[in-house]
Chains A and B, each alone.
Chain A
Amino acid sequence: MQQLFAQILPSLKEAGWTILFVVLAIIVIEVVAYVLLAKVLKSPHALPLMLLAPAAAGIVALIIYPLIWELNLSFTNMSLRHFGDKAEYTWVVCQGVDPSTIGNWITDCLIKNYADVFRLPVLKQVNFFPVFFRTALWTFANVSLHVTGGMALALLLNRPLRGRGIYRALLILPWAIPQIIAVLAWRGEFHYEYGYINILLTRFGLSAVEWKSSPVWNFVAMIITNVWLGIPFMMVVILGGLQSISQEFYEAAEMDGATPYQQFREITLPLIRPVLAPAIVLGTIWTFNNFNVPYFINQNELETSDILVTALFRAAFEYNRYGFSAAFAFVIFVVLLLYSVAFIRFTGGLEEIR
């Protein structure tokens, strides 16, 4: 309590100053950008560019600059031992190593961190590719279950039904509550003795499952949690798509004698595709990048449950290999980028944007 009262004034002061500072910065950036663009460069696009300048400055400072910085970092030997000032870590990773022991200057010096991602364990034991394939499996299993589950629920909810609003509100709950709370609550429910899943299993005469210590079951536990968390989003998105389809299509199809499956395939799927395709891309990226579920459900820190982003977090913040983890991060980013570009090309997803 006392700490609370001690903290109220300083916190308000700091937050207030931050807002004030940002507003002043916005005004300064706008004016500078306007003068620069309109008076000095005489650009015909001065006004929109000036309006964009503050947001762009923020994004440059907090997203682009850190990324460039990280790219630079990925070529260094920075770790907890070589931290802080530039002098303490070096750009060429092998500096100080006996030159006669260096076999290949490119892979052992220049891109040593990148080469290490593929040839050394990324954590203590696991290598990159097992983690990569686990991540692919994790993403595929989750997204396909999200889409099927969401589709099934949306089709049911799209019918005239009493209490639809209540069902929708209840089914949406996992999305509504803070993810960290949901995940920590689920982690508790995977307790061997007192988690309700094992209680139910033993009541039905089955044997309890070691959700936390068995590698396979821990992975299953992660998927259960994430499917529970992810279905509502897909359900809501698909339901929105379904509700925008005119009934006349189905009536016409029925006249022509189309079977229900044909109607689903030929009418429903194509018409919700503009909504579904971006949702799947987003869902895949979110699942691939999901940190809370794999990190917290894996309470015993099994390396066999880590996916790429949690392995990255551990490499950086538990093993403090900053240079290495920066290289690792870029490898992960490239994987994700390639996937997204391929998916968007394949489905033509970006056509509708703009």
Chain B
Amino acid sequence: MADVAKVPGPTPVSNRPIQASRLRRFFRAGRGDSQFKRLIIHLVLIGCCVVTVYPLLRVLSVSLRPGDRLLSTSLAIIPPDATLQNYIDLITKQDFLLWLWNALVITVATSIIGVILASIGAYAFSRWRFPGRNGGLIFLLATQMIPASMLMVPIYILAVQFDLIATYRGLIVAYAVTAIPFSIWVLKGYYDTIPPDLEEAALIDGASQMGAFYRVILPLSTPSLAIVFLFNFTAAWNDYLFARVILANAEPIWTWALGLRTLQDQFRTLWGQFSAGSILVTIPVVILFLYSSKYLISGLTIGAVKG
């Protein structure tokens, strides 16, 4: 009997009360559950999903309502008289496409600059030991602690004095630099997994150190560079605070966040158009996010656990 019990796997141990083993299994990760328990788990998860998704479906619902029925106490998701009028109004009556365009230009430029800066910096952290290396890494973590609204005041005043208010370049540079610390951590974690032998081989073949970086490391890191690009992209795309401070009075260069915000003001609530805009802005971001979330997390944990 004792020998049997040592065999790994689901071999039951006979002298154990069945009830206890069921309870055990409920808390244990993996392996099969009884039909009833699965049903309960499914019900709980479905309940959680409803709570999670319903507010978003409400946004969809409002965006489909005709203008005279925006305020309604109905809880139905697809209204009986659904219409796309709000989407049409949003595009024709508001500058929605302009806001999207501005956000797109700013975020793409941000991501390009952010990836260039971080990929070079992370290489130094990954391959060399130099004085200040650990201090630098911890400093990068500490910058994540600075409240955004703390940097707002000096950045706003400096931007006024350097004439960067209401410009694309002010916002692009601000986004790119504030994303550097996280990007460096992710990329350093990835570079660490590439064996140094590869570069050494390239060096022996006569490449310079920068040549080895450019020809060997960068091509191998494409997936993580893509992740950093995406991270920079979503961070800039979703930002409101910097945009509000730097672009406040410059309507021609508003991003979608500033534009949608004005649709949902205290005095002028264009609910339908706001919701339509939210849906249009959200869908691409969600697709990108679902695609990249696995890598983002592994980036977070590689940096934290292994390094």
- A residues at B contact (CB < 8 Å): 1, 3-4, 6-8, 11-12, 14-15, 17-19, 21-23, 26, 45, 47-49, 51-52, 54-56, 58-59, 61-63, 65-67, 69-70, 73, 84, 153, 155-161, 163, 167, 169-182, 184-189, 193-194, 196, 199-200, 228, 236-237, 240-242, 245, 247-248, 250-251, 254-255, 257-261, 263-264, 268, 274-275, 278, 282, 285, 288-289, 291-292, 299, 308-310, 312-313, 316-317, 322, 325-326, 329, 332-333, 336-337, 340, 350, 352-354
Contacts and interface: CB of A to CB of B under 8 A. Distances in A.
B26 interface: yes
A132 B273 CA distance: 38
Given A1-B97, A285-B144, A172 B290 contact: yes
Contacts of A157: 45
Contacts of B13: 255
B1 interface: no
Interface of B: 5-6, 8-9, 13, 16, 20-21, 23-33, 38, 41-42, 44-45, 48-49, 51-56, 58-59, 62, 71-73, 75, 92, 95, 97-98, 101-102, 105-106, 108-109, 112-113, 116-118, 120-121, 123-125, 127-128, 130-131, 133-134, 136-138, 141-158, 160-161, 167-169, 172-174, 176-178, 180-181, 184, 209, 237-238, 240-241, 245, 252-253, 257, 260-261, 264, 266, 271, 274-275, 278, 281-282, 285-286, 289-290, 293, 297-298, 300-301, 303-307
Contact of A292 (B24, B168, B240, B301): B240
A70 B102 contact: no
A81 to B, nearest CB: 14
A129 B274 CA distance: 37
Contacts of A332: 147, 150
Nearest to B10: A251
A63 B52 contact: no
Contacts of A67: 146, 151, 154
A275 B301 contact: yes
Contact of B5 (A255, A291, A337): A255
A47 B209 contact: yes
A250 B31 CA distance: 11
A32 to B, nearest CB: 15
Contact of B154 (A70, A179, A258, A352): A70
Contacts, number: 346
A15 B105 contact: yes
B305 A7 contact: no
A84 B156 CA distance: 11
Contact of B168 (A18, A255, A285, A309): A18
Nearest to B161: A84
A315 B97 CA distance: 34
Contact of A55 (B26, B120, B154, B278): B120
B172 A15 contact: yes
Contacts of A260: 23-28
Contacts of A194: 71-73
B40 to A, nearest CB: 10
A26 B121 contact: no
Contacts of B72: 194
A333 B146 contact: yes
Given A23-B116, A178-B238, 17 more contacts: A7-B253, A14-B169, A26-B117, A55-B120, A70-B150, A159-B29, A159-B30, A159-B33, A163-B42, A167-B45, A199-B75, A228-B51, A240-B298, A248-B8, A317-B156, A337-B145, A340-B142
A227 B199 CA distance: 46
A45 B144 CA distance: 27
B238 A173 contact: no
A268 to B, nearest CB: 8
Nearest to A285: B145
A58 B172 CA distance: 12
Contacts of B141: 353
A160 B167 CA distance: 52
A160 B293 contact: no
A295 B223 CA distance: 36
A176 B148 contact: no
B24 A26 contact: no
Contacts of B133: 48
A289 B147 contact: yes
A3 B252 contact: yes
Nearest to B97: A4
Name the 9 nearest CB pairs between A and B, nearest first.
A260-B27, A55-B121, A66-B154, A48-B128, A176-B289, A48-B124, A51-B124, A45-B130, A329-B150
B153 A254 contact: no
A73 B227 CA distance: 38
Nearest to B54: A196
A261 B152 contact: no
Contacts of B52: 170-171, 173-174, 228
A195 to B, nearest CB: 9
A312 B150 contact: yes
Nearest to B136: A52
A54 B183 CA distance: 14
Contacts of A228: 51-52, 55
